[in-house]
Chain A
Amino acid sequence: MATTQRPSVDETGDSALTATILRPLGRPSWRWMATLAAAAVGLAWFAQAWVFQLRYGLIVTNLADWGYVGGIPWGFYVGSFIWWVGIAHGGIIVSAAVRLFGMDTFAPVARIAELLTLAGLANAGLYIVIHLGRPDRVVSSILPNLPQTIQTSPLAWDVVVITLYFVLTATYLTLTLRHDLHRLAGRLPRAFTPLYRLLLAGHRPGEQAKAERMAWWLALGLIVLAPFFLHGGVIPWLFALLPGQPGWFGPVQGPQFLAAALASALGAVTLLAYVLRRVYRWEELIDDRVFRGLSRWVGLFALLFLWLQLQKVVTGSAMAPLSIETAVDAVVATPLYWVALAMLAVTVAHVGVQMLAPQRFSVGRTVAVAVLPLVAILIEKTLFVVEGLMYPVFDLYEGVPGSYTPSWVELSSLVGALSIMVLFFLVAVKVVPLIELKEAES
């Protein structure tokens, strides 16, 4: 990655940039400690909420049966699940694209995107478990039956795909990390030596070229599989393959989910990169061009998402079959839906303005605008789940459409998942270099 000034290389062969990359690995600052404490409190709050739910059952949520009382059996948990999977899938696509298409501008944030993917997938998995009535059976009931259920159950596909992507991402990350860890031997915190040994198991000095090639193929695999097995496929199919919810139906769901995933993941990468840059004074490593570039892509995917929403609304509310029309009309009549779309529209508009007047660029504003899709998509995805269930084909029941607002227990899960994300990065930043060494060496 290009920087304005190339620092000189010292006698040991390490550039000053390497030292910059290693900056976070030292003793924790009070700010780090304070953030850790805040995240721990958030996690503890979530933990007590979850214990409450385990103890009394899902009655502590505001979910209910849809058959005769107009309840919604899936709600915020499933919406959040989609959101986290989207962030994770988008994250790995960003990182793979950097390698595959030589998008060097984004190379400094590639590892951040990979780490985001790991934590995002972990949170998605967590949401599946929180959502269950019997989390104690998750292994014993799903695993032994997988050979049968995988044939027809989209939820079984999801479980497999999330596991697969976790493994692929972890492998990918390890491959690129080994080189760095090897190069930095002796300069890394001693406390984690056993971990480094583990990650470097079987490392040979000449393996770099081979590892690069493997990473390239992995990246190719991830990109090729994305439309089918990531947000473009099995996740929307979880909904679109069902017979009773016209609001979930339609071939537009796949592209629409994928656009949402990429917009939210890029938003999350932007936010993380910005925070890390500020805290560790990484201006020379993650320069403004990274943010300019990221914001353009966020804008593009937000635009794509808006365009696909337009398709859905226009085709659904003109002369569509009655049930589809009812579902789409309901979506259109929801103010929150328009709030979400407006947030995305602001992001798109901001990119437009920035292209017309590049001299008025501001990193802070760019980041603020890039975060909007992140929030908008969580809202839209939860609405998607809830409204799909509120307007089923069979709508004679009392209380159809029903009503739903997440309970405090459900909302606490967001606090928990965000805390997990923060904790994950707090630890990662102290253990591994968050920016590939190659960047500094190039």
Chain B
Amino acid sequence: MTSEHRDDPPNLVGSDAWAREVLADSEHDTGLGLAVARDAQRVVAGEMTEEEFRRRHHGAYLEAFGVDARPSLDDGLAPPDPERSRAEASPADRGPRDIAEPPRPQDTDAGDDGGPGEPATVPRRAVLGAVGGAAIGALFFGEMFRRNASAGEPPAQGDAASARGDGTARAAGGGVAPPGKQLPVQFGMVIDLERCDGCLDCVQACSDENGLSEGVLWPYVLSYQEPQDVDPRFLVRMCQHCTKAPCVMVCPTGARHRRLADGLVLTDYDVCIGCRYCQVACPYGANVFQWSHPAVYGGSFQGDGRDSRGVKVAGDPPMGVMGKCTFCPIRQEDPERRGTASCVDACAMGALHIGDLNDPESAPNRYLAQRREEAGGNLPTFRLLEGLGTEPNIIYIGQPPSAQAELIDGPFDYEDWDLTEDRRAVLEGPEPWFRRLAREG
């Protein structure tokens, strides 16, 4: 990467290009958005009933997006049945499941959604877009938008809404679980450190799939040595998708959240303000910030990055936004690819296993059971820094590093994979004008 390249970022704050990018990102209908905003204000002021508000904009939604999936129009604004959601949420009710079956949230959603399978991606996104556009002009009425947008959630996800208030149009807009809550489905990993040979295949695959900027390593393989050992040991560190995630608790915007459907800890890239509190609060050091324009620093993520809720959570984050290992959240919603992840697929040693930790039949649990059997019931396992109470969802097979462990050079080099291990070496901003002046003259 050359320095002129860096001097000339593709989009600049305050410039037209920047504004276009922001607008293009939200893909909204600004006109409709503003109309909704105006009427939202009327509702707040008591000049219009919510019923009327919905009726008025139904046509416009249909015209703009082809469908208005807000359930209020079809089911007479029936509130979610709390009894029912609770029953469905109870793990005891669930029988063994195969990891290849369709995503569970849709099982529970289907009845209320009117149709099985497909999550309501398009209308959800569209509603979000319109509301997002309106928010530019009418931030003050955020509360109202929140209510409006969460009305578009399938009622089965009302559990989240009740737990976190009404939710916002974006991160908290339904499908969000509070930190610490035990969920029926909790994705996690089993990582067999006794199998890991430190080859960095997982790091490489993740970087490719997510188009990560140079030096951004979501999974990170630490090679270390214990005083009594000759051979190196490895620790594959990635986000632990903690149940009681401190990063979620401290986030001042709700951008960092737990997805209700599977307990994944994700960042809403459209909401994050880049305060880095999550990074500071995470005891594992799993967060990696986007310090500059990703495109200038080798970021190549092309996808849309939105999950079925319409929340932008996947891939290399935009400038100024926090990133970290996501456990491939779009894959986990896809019946074909659920229970896979780029790193898991890439590991030739079969050391990584991802799936629902609450399901005894999931890949990680089956692997664990098999390894336990092989080891005669005497298999050492641990969760990283378990004593801190974060309830991490990665179960490691092997021994945790001791206090005497020393970091060493591993058998494989990040550079061999075209990866940069020392991101600080590439975290170099452009030259300021006064230095250039001094140099030139």
Among A67, A147, A155, A245, point to the contact of B250 (Cβ < 8 A). A155
**Interface readout for A111-130 with B: 1 if CB under 8 Å, 0 if not?**
00000000000000000100
Given contacts A74-B280, A408-B432, contact A142 B13 (CB under 8 A): no
Q: Tell me which of A55, A60, A147, A392 contacts B283 (CB under 8 A).
A: A392
B430 on interface, CB distance cutoff 8 Å: yes
| Interface-facing stretch out of A34-42, A206-214, A375-383, A393-401 | A393-401
Does B427 lie within 8 Å of A64, measured CB to CB? yes
Tell me whether A144 and B246 are in contact (CB under 8 A).
no
Binary contact track B263-306/A, C-beta < 8 Å → 1, others 0: 00000000111111101111111111111110000000000000
Q: Is B12 an interface residue (CB 8 A)?
A: yes
Closest approach, in angstroms, between the C-beta of A206 and any C-beta of chain B?
Answer: 37
A182 within 8 A of B: no
Over the window 142-174 of chain A, the binary record of Cβ atoms lying under 8 Å from chain B Cβ atoms (1 yes, 0 no) is 111101110011111001000000000000000
Interface centre among A144, A389, A397 (most CB of B within 10 A): A144
Stretch among A133-141, A270-278, A281-289, A423-431 lining the B interface: A133-141
Known A59-B291, A66-B285, A156-B252; judge A242-B13 contact (CB<8 A).
no
Residue in B254, B271, B283 whose CB lies within 8 Å of A137? B271
Specify the chain B residue showing the minimal Cβ separation from A70: B424
Q: Does B164 contact A (CB under 8 A)?
A: yes
Q: Name the contact of B255 in the complex, choosing from A68, A141, A159 (C-beta under 8 A).
A: A141
Contact call A68/B217, Cβ cutoff below 8 A: yes
Chain B 221-257: CB-based contact to A (< 8 A → 1; otherwise 0): 0101000000000010100000000101111111100
Contact status B421-A68, CB under 8 Å: yes
CB distance from B303 to the nearest CB of A (A): 21
Chain A residues lying within 8 Å of B255, measured Cβ to Cβ, are 141
Any A CB within 8 A of the CB of B407:
yes
| A244 located at the interface, meaning its Cβ lies under 8 Å from any Cβ of chain B in the complex | yes
Contact flag A133-B289 (CB < 8 Å), given A57-B319, A59-B427: yes
Q: Which residue from chain B places its CB closest to the CB of A133 in the assembled complex?
A: B274
Q: Does A52 contact B (CB under 8 A)?
A: yes
How many chain A residues have a CB neighbour from B under 8 Å?
59
Report the separation of the CA atoms of residues A154 and B169 in the bound assembly, to the nearest whole angstrom. Answer: 23
Q: Is the CB of B139 within 8 A of A142?
A: no
Interface centre among B9, B143, B290, B424 (most CB of A within 10 A): B424
In the complex, the chain A residue whose C-beta lies closest to that of B218 is A67
- With A57-B320, A144-B145 as known contacts, state yes or no: A65 contacts B283, CB within 8 Å: no
Bound-state CA distance A389–B285 (Å) is: 10
The answer, yes or no, to whether A131 is at the interface (CB within 8 Å) is yes
Q: Which of A56, A69, A134, A244 contacts B272 (CB 8 A)?
A: A134
User: In the complex, what residues of B have CB within 8 A of residue A250's CB?
Assistant: none
Q: Which of A56, A73, A133, A243 contacts B430 (CB 8 A)?
A: A56
Decide if A54 touches B285 in the complex (CB within 8 Å): no
The yes or no answer to A132 lying at the interface (CB within 8 A) is yes
Given the complex, which residues of A lie within 8 Å of B275, measured CB to CB?
Answer: 128, 131-133, 155
The one of B179, B220, B293, B422 in contact with A56, judged by C-beta atoms closer than 8 angstroms, is B293
Residues of B within 8 A of A145 (CB): 168, 171-172, 252-254, 271
Task: Answer whether residue B114 sits at the interface, using C-beta atoms and an 8 A cutoff.
Answer: no
Q: A243-B283, A243-B389, A397-B222 are in contact. Are A142 and B253 (CB under 8 A)?
A: yes
A40 to B267, CA, bound (A): 40
* Assembly CA distance A7 to B423 (angstroms): 69
Inter-subunit contact A152/B283 (CB<8 Å): no
State whether the Cβ of A322 lies closer than 8 Å to any Cβ in chain B.
yes
Min CB–CB distance A241 → chain B (angstroms):
8
Cβ-neighbour of B281 out of A56, A136, A243 (below 8 A): A243
Instruction: Tell me, yes or no, whether A58 is within 8 Å of chain B by CB.
Output: yes
Most buried by A among B222, B248, B291: B291
Among B172, B276, B407, which residue has its beta carbon within 8 angstroms of that of A398? B407
Q: Give the chain A neighbours of B321 by CB distance below 8 A.
A: 133-134
Q: CB of B80 within 8 A of chain A?
A: no
Contacts of B224 in A (CB 8 A): 396
Query: What chain A residues lie within 8 Å of B322 (beta carbons)?
Result: 133
B253 A149 Cβ-Cβ under 8 A: yes
* Residues of the B chain whose Cβ atoms lie less than 8 Å from the Cβ of A245: 280
Report the Cα distance A54→B401, complex, angstroms. Answer: 41
Quick check: is B165 within 8 A (CB to CB) of the other chain?
yes
Closest A residue to B286 by CB, please name it: A67
Is residue A24 contacting chain B, with contact meaning CB distance below 8 A? no
- Check if A71 is an interface residue, CB within 8 A of chain B: yes
Nearest CB of chain A from residue B247's CB, rounded to whole Å: 10
Tell me whether A394 and B284 are in contact in the complex, defined as CB-CB below 8 angstroms, given that A133-B321, A148-B164 are known contacts. Answer: yes
Query: Could you tell me if A244 and B320 are in contact, using CB atoms closer than 8 angstroms?
Result: no
A132 to B255, CA, bound (A): 14
> Does B117 touch A at the CB level, under 8 Å?
no
B78 within 8 Å of A (CB atoms): no
Judged by a CB distance under 8 angstroms, whether B338 is at the interface is: no
Contact A322–B403 (Cβ < 8 Å): yes
Q: Are A143 and B139 neighbours in the complex by a CB distance under 8 Å?
A: yes
Asked if B407 and A65 sit within 8 Å, CB to CB, the answer is no
Q: How distant is B265 from chain A, measured CB to nearest CB, in Å? A: 14
Which B residues between 362 and 383 are near A, CB-CB below 8 angstroms?
none
A244 contacts B222, CB within 8 Å? no
Q: How far is the CA of A142 from the CA of B403 in the complex (A)?
A: 40
**What are the 5 A-B residue pairs with the smallest beta carbon separation, nearest first?**
A133-B274, A144-B142, A133-B320, A67-B285, A244-B283
Known interface pairs A137-B253, A243-B390, A322-B403; 8 further A-B residue pairs with C-beta atoms within 8 A, sorted by A's residue number: A57-B292, A67-B279, A68-B217, A68-B421, A140-B136, A145-B271, A147-B143, A154-B250
Residue contacts A-B, CB under 8 angstroms, 21 given: A57-B320, A58-B291, A67-B237, A67-B287, A68-B220, A68-B285, A68-B421, A69-B215, A131-B275, A132-B320, A133-B290, A133-B321, A141-B271, A145-B254, A149-B252, A153-B252, A154-B250, A242-B281, A243-B281, A244-B281, A393-B388
* Chain A residues engaging chain B, CB cutoff 8 angstroms: 52, 54-60, 63-71, 73-74, 128, 131-145, 147-149, 152-156, 159, 242-245, 322, 389, 392-394, 396-399, 408-409
